């Protein structure tokens, strides 16, 4: 599908040196990743609402149940592949002198597409973290550990659950990059989850050109300099052509 991209955006893209990209669930949904926010069977897990089984309170109350849920989610993700948007964003990192990819997604598809140094605001389902010493454990190539290899305490999913704060310093780093960028893309996010949704406003206030790519308008659309309506996998590869 051919999309309409303004001459101004093409010029900004060609001249940009500092670029920040914020991605959300819409990008991953195009690869088949359930958003777990819609209706139907994706909204509950064994009768437990998504925002309950994925909460900090449930972690404290029933860690095995939380792990069962996240083990299931990793099973769903294992066979999925990045889509053209993931791959094109990965190519951008070598195009610009200063490039920052910030994602709200926890599925690891950006890394699978080749993106490096991804700023993961909400963590990653392919990692476990010790509940005491916070040591991380990569589960992308190995099984989930029964206990922390370092101190022997229990491990939890390295994901920000409902009711929890973002990892220390992660948003601050992203906000600093937003304040320094001259071009900001907001791709596949509903722009309602804060503090992530505040990054485009930081970029805009600092003078950056802000472009939104989404199938439908969002609360962020009125702030953006350009809004391209469409799927990320169809639109993103055409930007910069």
Instruction: Judge contact between 228 and 213, C-beta under 8 A.
Output: yes
Question: Is-contact 55 162, C-beta < 8 A?
Answer: yes
Instruction: Yes or no: say if 121 and 107 are a contact pair by the CB < 8 Å rule.
Output: no
Q: Which residues, at least 6 apart from 185, have a Cβ–Cβ distance to it below 8 Å?
A: 19, 20, 21, 22, 210, 211, 212, 213, 239
Residue of 194 and 17 predicted with greater confidence? 17
pLDDT (tens digit per residue) in 45-82: 778 888 899 999 999 999 999 999 999 999 999 999 99
Cα–Cα separations (whole angstroms), residue 160 to 163, 206, 223: 8, 28, 27
Q: For every residue of 27-72, which 3-state class applies, written as one string?
A: HHHCCCCCCCCCCHHHHEECCEEHHHHCEHHHHHHCHHHHHHHHHH
Question: What pLDDT does 217 receive?
Answer: 93
For 118-143, give the DSSP string: -EETTEEEEEEEESSS--EEE-SSSP
Tell the burial category of 215 from Cβ atoms under 10 Å away from its Cβ (0-12, 13-18, 19+).
Answer: middle
Q: What is the mean pLDDT of residues 19-26?
A: 96
Could you tell me if 210 and 187 are in contact, meaning their C-beta atoms sit under 8 angstroms apart?
no
Quote the pLDDT of residue 38.
43
- pLDDT score at 43: 61
Domains contained in the chain, CATH given:
7-33+81-122+166-238 (3.40.50.1220), 40-77 (no CATH)
The pLDDT tens digits of the residues spanning 205-239 come to 999 999 999 999 999 999 999 999 999 999 999 99
Q: What is the pLDDT of residue 44?
A: 67
pLDDT confidence of 41, banded at 50, 70, 90? very low
Q: Give the pLDDT score at 36.
A: 60
pLDDT score, position 40: 42
- Compute the 3-state secondary structure of the chain and give helix, strand, coil in percent, each to the nearest 5: 35, 20, 45
* Residue 94 to residue 22: CA distance in whole angstroms: 17
**Confidence grade of residue 3 (pLDDT, cut at 50, 70, 90):** confident
Least trusted range by pLDDT, from 35-44, 106-115, 217-226:
35-44
Could you say which DSSP state residue 237 is in?
Answer: G
| The pLDDT of residue 49 | 86
pLDDT of 241 higher than 90 = no
pTM for the model:
0.93
Tokens of 185: 């893309």
pLDDT tens for 143-196 read 899 899 889 999 999 999 999 999 889 999 999 999 999 999 999 998 777 888
Contact 117, 89 (CB under 8 A): no
pLDDT range class, residue 37, cuts 50, 70, 90: low
What pLDDT is stored for residue 47 in this prediction?
A: 80
Catalytic residue annotation: 122
């Amino acid at each position: 599908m051919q999309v309409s991209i303004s001459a101004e955006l093409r010029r900004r893209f060609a001249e940009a040196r500092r670029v920040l990209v914020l991605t959300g669930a819409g990008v991953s949904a195009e690869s088949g990743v359930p958003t777990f926010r819609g209706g139907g069977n994706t909204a509950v897990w064994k009768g437990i609402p998504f925002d309950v089984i994925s909460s900090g309170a449930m972690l404290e109350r029933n860690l095995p149940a939380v792990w069962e849920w996240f083990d299931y989610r990793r099973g769903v993700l294992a066979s999925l592949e990045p889509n053209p948007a993931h791959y094109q964003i990965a190519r951008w990192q070598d195009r610009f002198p200063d490039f920052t990819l910030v994602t709200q997604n926890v599925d690891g598809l950006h890394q699978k597409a080749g993106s490096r140094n991804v700023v993961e605001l909400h963590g990653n389902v392919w990692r476990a973290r010790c509940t005491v010493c916070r040591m991380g454990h990569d589960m992308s190539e190995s099984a989930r550990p029964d206990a922390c290899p370092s101190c022997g305490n229990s491990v939890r999913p390295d994901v920000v659950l409902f009711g929890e704060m973002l990892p220390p310093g992660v948003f601050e780093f992203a906000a600093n990059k937003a304040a320094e960028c001259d071009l900001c893309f907001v791709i596949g996010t509903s722009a309602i989850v804060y503090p992530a949704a505040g990054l485009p406003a930081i970029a805009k206030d600092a003078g950056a050109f802000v472009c939104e790519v989404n199938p439908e308008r969002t609360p962020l659309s009125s702030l953006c300099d350009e809004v391209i309506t469409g799927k990320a996998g169809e639109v993103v590869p055409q930007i910069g052509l």
